[in-house]
Amino acid sequence: MRKINGFEIDPMNVTFEPLAGSTIINILKLLAQNKFKIDLIGFPRILYSIVLSLTMSPMRFYENFKFDKIINETKIDKPPIFILGHWRTGTTYLHNLISQDKQFGFPSTYHTVTPTLFLTFEKFIKPIVISSLPEKRPQDDVDLGADFPNEEEYALGALSPYSFYNGWIFPKNMEYYNNFVDLKNLSNNTINNFKKIYLYYLKKLTYFYDGKQLIIKNPSNTSRIKFLLELFPDAKFINIIRNPYHVFLSMKRNIEKEMVLYTIQKPPKWECFEKSMVDMYKRMFTKYFNEKKLIKKGNFIDIKYENFISNPFNEIERVYSELNLKNFNKNKEIFMNYIKSQSKIKTQKYEIDEKTKNKIYNYFKFTIDKWQYDI
């Protein structure tokens, strides 16, 4: 274990590295994009990722050869439901809860870390994924498993250099990768390539689930509403908001616990991450507020994290009602059992001094005032 700029990093902890599920071509693209700047702490992780990627390359070639044409011809007849909300706002719990309804398909952890292999080689690859995962997420007390719902942003990072999380792998270049959250400061060619890759992946999931409607959770999508509507004009959206004071503190912990498992470069000091995090928050919600009005009436619902956590059953019933989703009564008992199973999860508690409180208010004044939150 090494302490670098206040972050505790174990260079030999390699199995949580997102690049391990990436294609070798994508790894090389990312390395070239970052001028092959790998620090000493990153060599075990990049070596692990390259070896694993090369080992799986023949299987990728076979899956692409067998399914590429089928996937490209797959129609997404049922527009997806997108769960929006900044990181650390309860999007995972909401995603896990709705995904108990078997009328929906969703990207699982296995689908997101091995997006090029999940149609043909599950028997061989899934045990590797399972063995690489801890029982709990690094940043909280939430269960982690290969079959649990996950965010497709990881799949995008494994398929392309177009993912927010690449900024945690290459933190010296994180400002560039932040652009893939709100799709700003990017060329038209890059956005078009991103669109093709994103649509291809959702088609692959649709094929895997035999045409089921997809329920997609990805915080980055909060500022991609216009982009998503260009692909799916009738898509439905659930946005979850949380007290910005709590989001700031929880996101800080998230970066401290999770980024250190991804990075192959020495992380900069926390102040750099804080600046980047605050800037991304402002960019995300500025674009969100501008674009949410593009969503068709009846296809959008806002929920508050605090209401959802205190009474998840009532809130999920409201989601089904306002978005006109079927089968709520059929799944009542399933939802209640899942909610009961989550009741023992321990939530993190934080202390905050007046100086930090004032700092966060100055950062997030526009949402704190708009949503009428206090500490």
Q: What is the mean pLDDT of the chain?
A: 95
Share of the chain above pLDDT 90, in %: 89
245 to 152, 194, 337: CA distances (angstroms): 27, 33, 31
345 vs 58, higher pLDDT:
58
Q: What whole-number distance in Å separates Cα of residue 360 and Cα of residue 354?
A: 10
Residue 160 has a pLDDT of: 95
- Mean pLDDT value across residues 138-166: 91
Closest CA to 305 of 102, 119, 126, 86: 86
Asked whether residue 344 carries a pLDDT value surpassing 90, the answer given is no
What confidence tier does 302 reach under pLDDT thresholds 50, 70, 90? very high
Asked if residue 96 has pLDDT above 90, the reply is: yes
* CATH number for position 40: 3.40.50.300
DSSP-derived 3-state class of residue 3: strand
pLDDT at 141: 72
Give the residue-averaged pLDDT of 238-249.
Answer: 96
| pLDDT at residue 133, rounded to an integer | 85
Per DSSP, the three-state class of 149 is strand
For residue range 269-284, list pLDDT tens digits in order. Answer: 999 999 999 999 999 9
Q: Which amino acid is at 289?
A: F
Indicate the pTM of the whole model: 0.96
Q: Tell me the per-residue pLDDT of 49-70, one tens digit each, with 9 for 90 and over.
A: 999 999 999 999 999 999 999 9
Sheet holding 236-241, edge to edge: 104-105, 213-217, 81-84, 236-241, 300-304
pLDDT in tens, 195-206: 999 999 999 999
Per the structure, the count of domains in the chain is 1
Range of the domain at 189: 2-371
Residue 58 CB coordination number (10 Å): 9
